[in-house]
Amino acid sequence: MPPPQYQDPLADLNTTQSVSGLYEEVRLGLLFSGNVQKSQDFISKYREAMKMGIFSNTGAMEDLDTAYVSNNLRKILTRLFGEVVKVDSLEQARSMGLDLVMVFDTQVSLGSMSGEQNSVNLKGSFVDWERRVLAEVEAHGVSVVPYPASSVGFKEAAGRALAALSNELGTSRRLATAIDEINAPVAVVAGIPAPVAVKGERYALVIGNSAYRDAPLKNPVNDAKDVGKALLRLGFNVILVKNARLRDMENAMDRFYASLQKGGVGLFYYAGHGMQVGGRNYLIPVDATVRSESDVRYECLDAGRILGKMEDAGNALNIVILDACRNNPFARSFRSGQRGLARMDAPTGSIVAYSTAPGSVAADGSGRNGVYTKYLLQYLMQPGLDISDVFFYTRKGVVQETGGGQVPWESSSLVDRFYFLEAPSYQR
């Protein structure tokens, strides 16, 4: 008797759009556990047994497809996530700048005689870079070896497990919460204890805008993520804002101001599009609609407001870092031909750092980070460097890499020394 014509259990998923692109902003690393290879080896042994005559029909051979689970898993994940990349380790995923990793596990049990049960167990564990499990999804599929034993029934069990896993991925509240924390426009992260004794707490507002409708940028969100992580390691309480609307930026600014009123050190970092109009600097939200210069004051955030809020807080030290001197995306709509940002003088006890000189334009960069932020990240973590030294060495690295085409610049009125990371006592 020829084997029955089984229907693909995943066929209905191909027309299901309710969860399509649910996590489209997330770049997911897919890491297979050792059990995946063991399961594939187990299935391969069954295929070898068929060749020896235990099962003699081609239908049974086709049923035991070693790549069935992994291939269909990729189809499910690519419908949910913006990008899915197979990786060999957490370290590789981190080096590639992926947002999250799913460790995938498969365990298979197959019957050998008609009426015996097959089972396929699937599990996806979503982990962060500290190897903490943020969420888990599990699914189970069973089938019975048909009578007569013209097939094994593996695809039937695996298909049921995959369909259940797809449903779990689309409905898991814990997974949704974990991903919201990674990609929320505004996320507040509690800082770790500062590595050195400082007067008061350290607070930072970090913003990176890349997803502009008309002139998207490659690096600002990566820049913001990496600066935020570095500042956390340096003892800052960080408010991280990614691809934010004007309202998101204003809300974050107000929360930042409330923190600064407690005293201590404040740091504001921005990467994205910025422009000057009438001698004032504006930071451009991703939802800005600018058709003429007069729109800017209503559609964008005045950088002077940030500086003013920091000054009003009356805390000991304020740091402003603007990696926002890309080309003006609305230049064709403007009467003036001003480029880059205008100079802002730093109030007493503060420093304002620009990725390039006022009136000039900075490069977005060809790697993960912009040229300026790449060097800033390097020297932020160097122990024993005064804040002025950090910006000095950052400027030196940028000038050398760009052949003098980009020259970072600072306006400073600091009256005390500040170290992001003090040198160990034995080096003092």
- What is the arithmetic mean of pLDDT over 395-406? 91
107/224 same-domain check: no
304/407 same-domain check: yes
Q: Give the 3-state secondary structure of residue 357.
A: coil
Confidence of residue 6 (pLDDT cuts 50, 70, 90): very low
Residue 344 lies in a domain: yes
pLDDT at 57: 58
pLDDT at 330: 60
73/189 same-domain check: no
pLDDT in tens, 239-259: 999 999 999 999 999 999 999
| N-term to C-term CA, the chain | 85
Which are the contacts of 145, defined by CB distance < 8 A and separation ≥ 6? 110, 111, 112, 113, 114, 115, 116, 117, 118, 151, 152, 153
Residue 4 lies in a domain: no
Q: Phi/psi at 106 (nearest 5 deg)?
A: -130, 135
Provide the percentage of residues in the chain whose pLDDT is more than 90. 35
Residue 327 lies in a domain: yes
Residue 142 lies in a domain: yes
205/145 same-domain check: no
Query: Of the residues 145, 177, 209, which one is the last residue of a structural domain?
Result: 177
Show the tokens assigned to 187: 């996320």
Contact 148, 126 (CB under 8 A): no
Between CA 172 and CA 157 the distance in angstroms is 22
377/235 same-domain check: yes
Amino acid making up residue 424: P
Give the gyration radius of the chain's Cα atoms. Answer: 28
pLDDT in tens, 67-83: 999 999 999 999 888 88
Instruction: Answer yes or no: is pLDDT of 336 > 50.
Output: no
* CA 48 to centroid of chain Cα atoms: 44
Q: What is the DSSP string of 3-56?
A: PP-PPPTTGGGGG--TTTTTEEEEEEEEEE-HHHHHHHHHHHHHHHHHHTTSS-
Instruction: Answer yes or no: is pLDDT of 376 > 90.
Output: yes
Spell 284-304 as b/e; 16+ CB within 10 A means b.
bbbbbebeebeebeebbbebe
Looking at per-residue confidence, does 4 or 416 come out higher? 416
123/212 same-domain check: no
pLDDT at 368: 85
Confidence of residue 3 (pLDDT cuts 50, 70, 90): very low
The CATH number linked to 265 is 3.40.50.1460
234/358 same-domain check: yes
Which residue, 69, 45, 44, 61, is CA-closest to 149? Answer: 61
Instruction: Answer yes or no: is pLDDT of 28 > 70.
Output: yes
| Segment among 211-215, 337-341, 391-395 with least mean pLDDT | 337-341
Amino acid making up residue 19: V
155/295 same-domain check: no
Query: Of the residues 138, 162, 177, which one is the last residue of a structural domain?
Result: 177
Query: Of the residues 130, 148, 177, which one is the last residue of a structural domain?
Result: 177
Residue 50 lies in a domain: yes
Between CA 406 and CA 397 the distance in angstroms is 10
Amino acid making up residue 163: A
Contact 323, 355 (CB under 8 A): yes
pLDDT at 136: 92
pLDDT at 108: 92
Rounded to 5 degrees, what angle do the CA atoms 422, 201, 246 make? Answer: 110
Instruction: Answer yes or no: is pLDDT of 202 > 50.
Output: yes
- What is the arithmetic mean of pLDDT over 351-373? 77
| Segment among 120-129, 187-196, 197-206, 337-346 with least mean pLDDT | 187-196
Instruction: Answer yes or no: is pLDDT of 199 > 60.
Output: no
156/258 same-domain check: no
- What is the arithmetic mean of pLDDT over 373-393? 93
Instruction: Answer yes or no: is pLDDT of 128 > 60.
Output: yes
pLDDT at 173: 77
Structural domain span for residue 43: 11-177
Highest mean pLDDT among 17-21, 297-301, 333-337: 297-301
pTM of the model: 0.58
Residue 62 lies in a domain: yes
Provide the percentage of residues in the chain whose pLDDT is more than 70. 79
Contact 318, 412 (CB under 8 A): no
Instruction: Answer yes or no: is pLDDT of 12 > 70.
Output: no
17/90 same-domain check: yes
Q: Phi/psi at 280 (nearest 5 deg)?
A: -110, 150
Query: Is residue 106 classed exposed, middle or buried when 0-12, 13-18 and 19+ CB atoms within 10 A define those classes?
Result: buried
Looking at per-residue confidence, does 267 or 329 come out higher? 267
pLDDT at 4: 43
Q: Phi/psi at 12 (nearest 5 deg)?
A: -65, -25
Residue 2 lies in a domain: no
285/416 same-domain check: yes
| Segment among 19-23, 121-125, 296-300 with least mean pLDDT | 19-23
pLDDT at 426: 41
pLDDT at 164: 92
Please state the domain count of the chain.
2
Between CA 393 and CA 292 the distance in angstroms is 38
Instruction: Answer yes or no: is pLDDT of 327 > 60.
Output: no
The CATH number linked to 66 is 3.30.160
371/414 same-domain check: yes
Residue 1 lies in a domain: no
pLDDT in tens, 213-223: 878 888 899 99
Instruction: Answer yes or no: is pLDDT of 159 > 80.
Output: yes
Looking at per-residue confidence, does 161 or 57 come out higher? 161
